[in-house]
A and B are shown apart, each in its own frame.
Chain A
Amino acid sequence: MRSIVVRRQSPTQSPWAIGAMTAGSVVLAFLVAAILFLPFESNPLQAYVSVFDASLGSWRGLAITLNRAAPLILIALGTCVAWRAGFGFLGFEGCVTLGAAATAWFALSALDEGIAGSIPVVLFFIIAIFISFITGGIWAGGMGLLRSRFGGNEVLISLMSNYVAALFVQYLVAGPMRAPGSLPQTPRFPIETWLPNLIPGTRGHIAIVIAVVASGLVWMLMSRMRLGYDFIATGINPRAARYGGINVRQKYVLAAFFAGGLGAMAGLVEVLGTQHRLLDGLSGGIGFIGIIVALLAKLNPLAVVPAAILYAALSVGGDALQRSTGAPSSIIFILQSLIVLFVMASDILRYYRFRSPFVNSGLTHHA
């Protein structure tokens, strides 16, 4: 019998092998998390079925899952652009918040006979997307400028900027934009500005369509456009990029701009799709979960969509789990973490080749 595992000289690039490893990691995470159900005397398989039944098994559940996945997709796409360009951006919470605030300002102008009330709905959404994208883009692009002009550390700057943005929006909803009443929030947006419904009879709106289209566009940017080539070259090896005539500093600013814009669009779908008003603490951590989704998708803009839907489905199903089996929904958080952990760790398997132990290779026959 020969050894089953052989070390490779360099990691495999085959998309089939990488896909299989990722799927295997997800399955393994489900198996490990199954142990956690034992104290509750419930059948893990049944529990998993109920999780997915709640999140994907009905139109209502599916609608909630997709609503939750859409902003995650947009943030994860922003992560793909920034991180692959070598810009370690962590400021999506701030972009979501500010994008939501800019959208809210525009949507609320409809109430005071502003332009938003007098234009066709389609035009309203186009302008709203534009405004939120530019807001987030300038916010994040400024951090890109700080790095490329002054050598600031973008990881720290962007992380801290989240607090600035969150407190600024807190100020807005407590003061200038506050609706009459006791709660710190804006008035509800006029119904025409809400994202149109996608799945009849549910709350499912078109955010998922926006997100999927964005995913296609980001894929096109990164693998078909010249700017994407420049981003990737800069991210892998800035010295070689500079040698190749690429303006590396400008690329950091541009990548940050796109990342911020995509993050702000997540804020837009949150306020126009789900909340219908601006309120404090609106992002609720999705700015970080989106980054995790991007890592789960290995920074591939197309893989971001299924990764986000899986993540959202588990979150939605986790709430149902507690009701049906009595097992705490924290099991689902553990499962989500295990999935990310195993998928990231599976990268090491790319250095190994697996063989059946019983088949002899041609060479050993002579020995």
Chain B
Amino acid sequence: MQPALELKGIVKRFTDVLANDHTHLTVGHNEIHAVLGENGAGKSTLMHVLYGSYKPDAGEILIDGKVVTFTSQRQAIAHGIGMIHQDFMLVRNFTVVENVVLGLDGEGGGKLDLNHAARRIRELSDRYDLGVDPWARIEHLSVGVQQRVEIMKLLYRQARILILDEPTAVLTPKEVDMLLKTLRSLATEGRSVIIVTHKLHEIMEVADQVTILRDGQTIACVAKDETSEAELARMMVGRDVALKIRRTSMNRGHPSLVVSNLHVRDDRGELIVRGVDLTVHEGEVLGIAGVDGNGQSELVESLMGLRPVEQGSVEMDKTDITHATPAERSEKKLFYVPADRRGVGSISTLNIDANAILGRQHQFSRFWRLFLDRPKIHAYAKELVARFDIRTPGIDFPAEKLSGGNLQKLILGREIMRNPHLLVVEQPTRGLDVGAIEMIWGQLLEVREQGKGILLVSAELEEIRNLCDRILVMYAGRIMGELKPQEATDETVGLMMAGMSITEAKAAQGEAYA
């Protein structure tokens, strides 16, 4: 039997990123297929190609063995493909039935028969246990129910291939359980469901097949029954960088950053960091490994004063900074290289010189600190560009036009030039090429050799192992244990990233070797 869907050799290139590099994906009938990968691995691009929003540069799409080409979403829908985006596409002050029929060509010769549509919605709702009331207004429904309305829209349009982009990102744990049950019942009658995610336990719970993407390439396609969370984690984050960097042995100094019993909530108000304790000493790199979305970003944001602390304390050089402003923290010489280079770390349309002083404007001002000291800024920006080898036509060049690697050098360089006591670095090399990675790693180790502490959050195991003196593994908002770099084998870290405690993980490894 032909697979329901096949994507073959899909290539999609954006200005300076190869988002899909001969990616392939095969989905069978009655199957829930998970597409797994870190942020930036090319998952969303691939789904947009499938849904007709992007035109691929190469490759073909086959449905039931027949080649199809889409130039619009409308055509994709006509071929039975339906997609649910992370942000729902619902009209908030319309009822469910109005939302479902929106955009459909009328069946009754232009007459809108909502009662007929409502009857069908109720039928479908009962059949798949969706619990959707056709006459409810969207604005009165919880997020979980709104998502089921989106599913209803696809069922009503008789979609045979359902794509859900990060469907659980906005749901509470209880709603997640309900959604996974629904997906199971949908993958019947020849339908296929594709879920795009980076949450491993959900995959293990619901998926039949898993395709792992990394750097735009298909790494593997495995059956759920023949794999494990640990193996999936490893395939997702493992990156073969033939870089070996020499870390000199150093005696670590006094504790610099001390975090105790930290609790932080995410944007939805759920506790996402649940009691983290950690200490970064002078002259050491402390790594936090883990799959994205286990609370690392929120932890770091709360350390930098960009997110309120729910409970617990943060101390920097023996001063309590739990509730200090970002500016007060930078006075303590606690600096941060954020993961989101374009959204947080830089101001896209401003030039390099303006970005070079972000965070230290007061040091580059004159005349009672009212005016920018432009000569000083220019000299400093030039020094930054030269010292960190930022490839740019000049300092009056917009930051948004720099490639990812050069932008990261600008941000990291800026923070290093501020002479940090402690540097928090999040995903410093995500999406960068080998040359840039080598440069960034070297710079980070140099900071360490000057006796400064570094807290490195990374989903790249290779990076963590090469740079860190101690490694913490984070899962579901907690630290699962501390490893030395030589202990941090792919297998052990993989098990811990999947939620196993350090003793369990080591025991499991011991069995494997015994």
Contact = CB atoms under 8 A, between A and B. Distances in A.
The CB with the most chain A CB atoms within 10 A, among B338, B343, B344, is that of B344
A224 B347 contact: no
Interface stretch (B87-95, B287-295, B366-374, B441-449): B366-374
Contacts of B401: 10
B359 A243 contact: yes
A227 B350 contact: no
B297 interface: no
Contact of B345 (A9, A226, A243, A246): A243
14 contacts: A10-B15, A226-B361, A226-B362, A229-B357, A232-B347, A236-B347, A237-B347, A239-B344, A240-B347, A243-B336, A243-B345, A243-B359, A244-B361, A245-B327
A241 B330 CA distance: 14
B427 interface: no
B398 interface: yes
Interface residues of B, number: 33
Contact of A232 (B325, B327, B350, B370): B350
A330 interface: no
B370 A244 contact: no
B358 A244 contact: yes
A183 interface: no
A39 B358 CA distance: 59
Interface in A193-233: 224-227, 229-230, 232-233
Given A237-B347, A243-B306, A245-B327, A226 B374 contact: no
Contact of A240 (B345, B360, B365): B345
Contacts, number: 71
A300 B360 CA distance: 26
Given A237-B347, A240-B345, A243-B336, A225 B372 contact: yes
Interface string A1-38: 00000000110010000000000000000000000000
Given A233-B347, A242-B306, A247-B327, A227 B358 contact: no
Given A236-B348, A237-B347, A226 B370 contact: yes
A126 B304 CA distance: 45
Interface residues of A, number: 22
A305 B477 CA distance: 56
B348 A247 contact: no
B47 to A, nearest CB: 24
Contacts of A9: 15
A236 B350 contact: yes
Contacts of A232: 347, 350
Interface of A is mostly: helix
Interface in A136-166: none
B370 A225 contact: yes
B372 A229 contact: yes
A236 B344 CA distance: 11
Contact of B371 (A224, A241, A243): A224
Interface string B350-364: 100010011111100
B409 to A, nearest CB: 17
Contact of A226 (B336, B343, B369): B369
Interface of A: 9-10, 13, 224-227, 229-230, 232-233, 236-237, 239-247
B398 A243 contact: no
Nearest to A235: B347
A235 B374 CA distance: 21
A225 B401 CA distance: 25
Contacts of B372: 224-226, 229
A224 B350 CA distance: 14
Contacts of B365: 226
Contacts of A247: 325, 327
The CB with the most chain B CB atoms within 10 A, among A229, A232, A242, A243, is that of A243
B326 interface: yes
A227 B401 CA distance: 25
Given A224-B374, A226-B372, 14 more contacts: A9-B15, A10-B401, A224-B371, A224-B372, A226-B362, A226-B371, A233-B347, A233-B354, A240-B343, A240-B358, A242-B326, A243-B306, A245-B325, A245-B359
B168 interface: no
Nearest to B370: A225
B359 A237 contact: no
Contact of A13 (B343, B344, B398): B398
A273 to B, nearest CB: 31
B319 interface: no
B349 interface: yes
B346 interface: yes
Contacts of B354: 229, 233
Contact of B326 (A10, A13, A245): A245
A244 B346 CA distance: 9
B348 A243 contact: no
A8 to B, nearest CB: 11
Contacts of B306: 242-243
A366 B235 CA distance: 46
Nearest to A10: B401
B361 A243 contact: no
A237 to B, nearest CB: 5
Nearest to B396: A13
A10 B403 CA distance: 13
A232 B349 CA distance: 10
A233 B350 contact: yes
B502 to A, nearest CB: 33
B12 to A, nearest CB: 15
A229 B344 CA distance: 16
B374 A243 contact: no
A220 B439 CA distance: 39
A234 to B, nearest CB: 10
The 9 nearest A-B residue pairs measured at CB: A245-B327, A244-B358, A244-B359, A226-B365, A245-B326, A240-B347, A237-B347, A243-B344, A236-B347
A244 B344 CA distance: 9
A353 B354 CA distance: 27
Contacts of B400: 10
Contacts of B327: 245, 247
A236 B346 CA distance: 10
Contacts of B326: 242-245
A239 B267 CA distance: 14
B325 A240 contact: no
B332 to A, nearest CB: 12
A233 B372 CA distance: 14
A76 to B, nearest CB: 21
